[in-house]
Amino acid sequence: MNTQHTDQESATGPATGWWTEAVIYQIYPRSFADSDGDGIGDLPGITARLGQLADLGVDAVWLSPFYPSPQADAGYDVADYRGVEPLFGTLDDADKLIADAHAHGLRVIVDLVPNHTSSAHAWFRAALAAAPGSPERGRYVFRDGRGPDGAEPPNDWRSVFGGPAWTRVTDPDGRPGQWYLHLFDTAQPDLNWDSPEVRAEFLDVLRFWLDRGVDGFRVDVAHGLIKQADLADWQEPQEILSGSDAQRPRPPMWDQDGVHEIYREWRRLLDSYDGQRILVAEAWVEPAERLARYVRPDEMHQAFNFEYLLAAWTAPAQYAVITRSLEATDAVGAPTTWVLSNHDVVRHASRLGLPIGVPRPNGIGVGDPQPDAALGLRRARAATLLMLALPGSAYLYQGEELGLPEHTALPDEARQDPTWERSGHTERGRDGCRVPIPWEADAPSYGFGPTDASWLPQPASWAEYARDRQAGTPGSTYEMYRTVLRLRREHDLGRGALRWLASGDEVLHFRTGEVGVLTNFGAAAVPLPEGAELLHASCPLDDGLVPTDATAWYRP
């Protein structure tokens, strides 16, 4: 690896605004805090805990969907985009949450799911009742089947959750009818974004929440809305992260150029509102240059950097992904948006405890290779300190500030992610990162709610991770997050330009603003530069040396 001494700065002039360096905390409402004891988290539960998030030191929260939904995919199957699922509360509760968050100085980002609706959405019910070729069916992707009697699906696409991406409907007269496309569960029919009615509807949904005061939208499956017009067969693997690179053709269901026009229109709408309302893309797109197209100046503000999330825990891999990411976003004048965990991936405190180089598992269960918990936590803390020093914005996932691991021993009968069933029990799915989080060690459900109820069982070992055990305890993961979030703000790290110092096969070392950052991936402990004054480290230094799998921030 070469040592670089270049400041990475934007070619087009950097974007400005609160979001360019914000630390944004993802709340998964089902699993954050339960106010009524039914075992499912809710909006009043969140509102009651906002003060604690402000105390942690984050700038904003992003809430996964809380809209009316049959919960076939934990709320990513939306039946009504302008309401609140009764399990989670009421529209008044949402208004209060937004107002209280603002009073605490926290911005609020909500989730928007435009690729598909729930099959319980009024539009889809109308489509089922209507005839082929009708305007009602035109809002979705209905096609005649292939083969004799149309008994074969229209193409060979697979659902991201496993199984075919098409389901055949039964016509009102009881006979087998057309097929509809669902890139996810059968209960999540894909919308047809060539329909002007669909476009108008989502502009109106955006207005509905903007008028209620939200500060932005996380756009679900932002790379999937437009499909290649001919819906051509695709024999290649079709995992969600199969954007494109120079070596292979772009899949016909992901990252089609037509999506950008949609986001330009949304951006114009957001810009017509006061404050700085933002769009963040959930787009599993490679390479970084292709992802950067989503954050061109007239499109979205941020796009999750999943290539970073997926990068191996080695100095060369981390160096490469950081460099590439900064170059790609700098070229369009956008900040990079770093992330290590979310509700779709194995928590990084467990992921980093797996052997380096094994493919990322989609869930871990009894009988699967288990992560090394201590190693995972040690590396997770080092990775977090590295991430929070990088210029740009960063997303945290609820519980990571507690060092919370994946639940890797969930009983299979408790699993709720549709992936488990649809993959024919070959992929455990994402439940292990969605378990309700611990607040108080000695309370029922560890303080998640007033009763023992918890929609996914919590492991017995989670008392030690509870917030009340860690708050005020020097060296705890929680206090590490609080401290570095404060330091990040004081030193304006999100805004800094990164300058690489001597980075090699075992060490990453850079300056950002007036702060030096060193991560040691090697076996031997390494010294900080002479005269360095330690600001914080992910674990105690070893005789003044930075030990293996540790990050230190220092003042030169």
Residues lying near ligand GLC in the complex (CB under 6 A): 73, 76, 113, 184, 220-221, 282, 343-344
d(CA 295, CA 115): 19
Report in angstroms how near the CB of residue 181 gets to ligand GLC at its nearest: 14
For ligand GLC, the closer CB: 73 or 400? 73
For ligand GLC, the closer CB: 74 or 382? 74
Determine whether 93 is an active site residue: no
For ligand GLC, the closer CB: 209 or 439? 209
Q: Which of 220, 255, 400, 417 is catalytic?
A: 220
Report in angstroms how near the CB of residue 162 gets to ligand GLC at its nearest: 12
Calculate the alpha carbon distances from 36 to 41, 447, 458 in Å.
8, 12, 18
Calculate the alpha carbon distances from 381 to 351, 387, 479, 481, 546 in Å.
12, 10, 11, 9, 14
Report in angstroms how near the CB of residue 333 gets to ligand GLC at its nearest: 27
For ligand GLC, the closer CB: 343 or 491? 343
d(CA 57, CA 61): 11
Report in angstroms how near the CB of residue 65 gets to ligand GLC at its nearest: 9
d(CA 45, CA 97): 10
Report in angstroms how near the CB of residue 398 gets to ligand GLC at its nearest: 14
DSSP string for residues in 302-351:
EEB-HHHHH--SSHHHHHHHHHHHHHHHHTTT---EEES--TTS--HHHH
Distance, CA of 13 to chain centre: 27
d(CA 26, CA 343): 9
For ligand GLC, the closer CB: 113 or 291? 113
d(CA 444, CA 122): 39
**Hey, what are 50's tokens?**
């906002």
d(CA 225, CA 259): 6
d(CA 395, CA 230): 37
Residues in the chain: 556
Report in angstroms how near the CB of residue 306 gets to ligand GLC at its nearest: 10
DSSP string for residues in 517-536:
EEEE-SSS-EEPPTT-EEEE
Contact criterion met (CB below 8 Å) for 419 and 345? no
Q: What is the DSSP letter of 146?
A: B
d(CA 494, CA 392): 5
> Which amino acid is residue 287, in one-letter code?
P
For ligand GLC, the closer CB: 221 or 281? 221
Residue number with the smallest Cβ distance to ligand GLC: 76
For ligand GLC, the closer CB: 215 or 220? 220
- Residue 338 has phi, psi (to 5 degrees) of -90, 150
Torsion of CA 466, 471, 475, 480, to 10 degrees: 100
Q: Which of 21, 255, 282, 549 is catalytic?
A: 282
Report in angstroms how near the CB of residue 361 gets to ligand GLC at its nearest: 16
Determine whether 220 is an active site residue: yes
Q: Helix crossing, 43-56 with 477-490: angle to 10°?
A: 60
Q: Which residues are catalytic?
A: 220, 282
